[in-house]
Each structure stands twice: as C-alpha cells, then as structure tokens.
Amino acid sequence: MRKPTAPAEAPLLFEGLTPSEPGTAPAVPGAEGHRSRMRDRLLRAGPEALDDHEVLEMVLFLALPRRDTKPISRALLGRFRSLAGAISASPQELREIEGLGEAGMAALKTIQAAALRLTRAEVMDQPILANWPRVIDYLTAVLAREQIEHFRVLYLDTRNRLIADEAQTRGTVNLTPVYPREVVRRALELNATAMILVHNHPSGDPTPSRQDIDMTRAVRAAGEALSVLLHDHVIIGNGRWFSLAKEGLI
C-alpha cells in the first residue's frame, strides 16, 4: 500500500519579508538585502531613483564591502551637507569621518574625478561661447568648493573650441598671483587665438576685487599685443558666478 505523499514544505521566510515575485531575485535579509534592493532600483529606474545617502552607500560599499556603509554615508552628509560636498571634500577633511579610511576616501575622489571628466567632455570640441551654461557647470564643478584660490585659463582655437583647460597658479584664501606674460606665452605655445580666465573666491562671493579687475586688464593688454583675444574673466563663487565681460569691466 502506497504511503500518502507529504505536502510540500512551505519556504521559510525571514520576518518582514515575502516570497519574491516571479522573475526577480529572491529577497535577502539585512544589509546585503538593502544593497541588493538599491542596486535593483538603480538599474531599473536610473540614478535619480537613489537619494544622496544611498548613492554614497553604494559607492562606499564597493570600497568597503564588509562594512555597514549607511552610518558612514550619514556622517558624510552631516558633515558636508550634500553628495557634491562629500565627494569634493579634501582628504584632510575626509580623514575626520570615522570608518571611512583610505579605501573610502579613494572611492569618493574617484567619483569626483569621473564627474569632472564627464562635465568636461560636454564642452570639449564645442564652441565655448555657444555652450556657456555647460561651461559654467563645468567650472562650478571644478572650483566652487575649493578652499583656496585657483586660477585657470581656457585656451581656445579660431572657432572658439577648447584646446586646453590649464591650472596656472594656486594661492591663499583670498589671493592668487598671476603673471600676464606667462598666460599669453602659453597661449602661443598652444596656438590658441583666444582665452577665458577663471578663478574662484573661497568666500563664496564672486564679486571682483580691484586687483581682479586690474589683473584682467593687464592680461588683455598682453594678449592684444600678440593677437590673442581675451573673451572673459569668470569668477566662481558658491552657487553664483560673475562675468567681467558681461559687466563691462574688461
């Protein structure tokens, strides 16, 4: 006589979880389940589906796979207030975040490097003056959160396309030395026919100083003597920018 067949054993479920829908990955408990759900949401719905702290968690998980990255991401946002602030923070500042370590710091700076290259790619091989909003986005990404003054020059060809974006000098919190002859000499080396000067004000206020205006006019005069045109001098602040050309100060 055949024994009755025992009913199939029901799957064991972790508390608070339900069986997976057909065609989806099985539910996973704990931190790994949280990461799995974030990955799925990112791949299905795109970057905008994740909040800032979730983006930080995902980035840090790649560098710190055995750590719970949620407290670290929360600490980063508490200290630097935004994703952009966290990835652009200096290594000295990042060392103050408990649990981040060298691997976590390197992950954040890698994301910053990738972001800058992405924004820079959008202005390469394009007429700069016809793509001004993207140029400002790029310059803001590069300079807005720097804590000392940086002076850069965008060198352009005859069609106003970007040949080179070069950091010339670094200064203090409120002063950067600039040598007009060196700026123009470099333009000649690159066969550039035009330039845009750029620097930041760590105070956040992009209003030009008297020294900024005088330096700009000195560079313009040096360039005109050798047929190199100065289009503008842009000062980047915190969420604001100032064009000396637009304001009639060149």
Q: Which pLDDT band, with edges at 50, 70 and 90, does 74 fall under? A: very high
Domain count, the chain: 2
Burial of 179 (0-12, 13-18, 19+ CB in 10 A): middle
Give the domain-ending residue among 118, 138, 172: 118
Q: Residue 17 above 90 pLDDT?
A: no
Domain boundary among 50, 84, 118: 118
Query: Mean pLDDT over residues 72-86, rounded?
Result: 92
- Dump pLDDT digits (tens) for 217-233: 999 999 999 999 999 99
Whether the per-residue pLDDT at 196 is higher than 90: the answer is yes
Determine, yes or no, domain membership for 135. Answer: yes
Give the pLDDT confidence of 99-114 residue by residue, as tens digits: 999 999 999 999 989 9
CA dihedral of residues 224, 197, 186, 151 (deg, nearest 10): 140
Tell me, yes or no, whether 87 and 132 share the same domain.
no
Chain mean pLDDT for the chain: 84
CATH number assigned to the domain comprising residue 191: 3.40.140.10
Q: What is the pTM of this model?
A: 0.68
The pLDDT value given to residue 175? 61
In terms of domains, do 186 and 238 share one?
yes
* Model pLDDT for residues 163-179, shown as the tens digit of each residue: 999 988 776 655 667 88
Backbone torsions φ then ψ of 153, nearest 5 degrees: -130, 130
Residue 138 and residue 73 share a domain:
no
Place of tokens 């202005």: 123
Averaged pLDDT, 30-58 = 84
Q: How confident is the model at residue 10 (pLDDT cuts 50, 70, 90)?
A: very low
Residue 216 domain-assigned (yes or no): yes
Q: Which domain holds residue 161?
A: 127-243
Is the domain of 114 the same as that of 151?
Answer: no
- Choosing from 70, 94, 118, the residue where a domain stops is 118
- Flag whether pLDDT at 20 surpasses 60: no
> Residue 92 is encoded by which pair of tokens?
């000295």
| Other beta carbons less than 10 A from residue 107's beta carbon | 20
61 vs 96: CA distance, rounded Å: 19
How much is the pLDDT for 46? 84
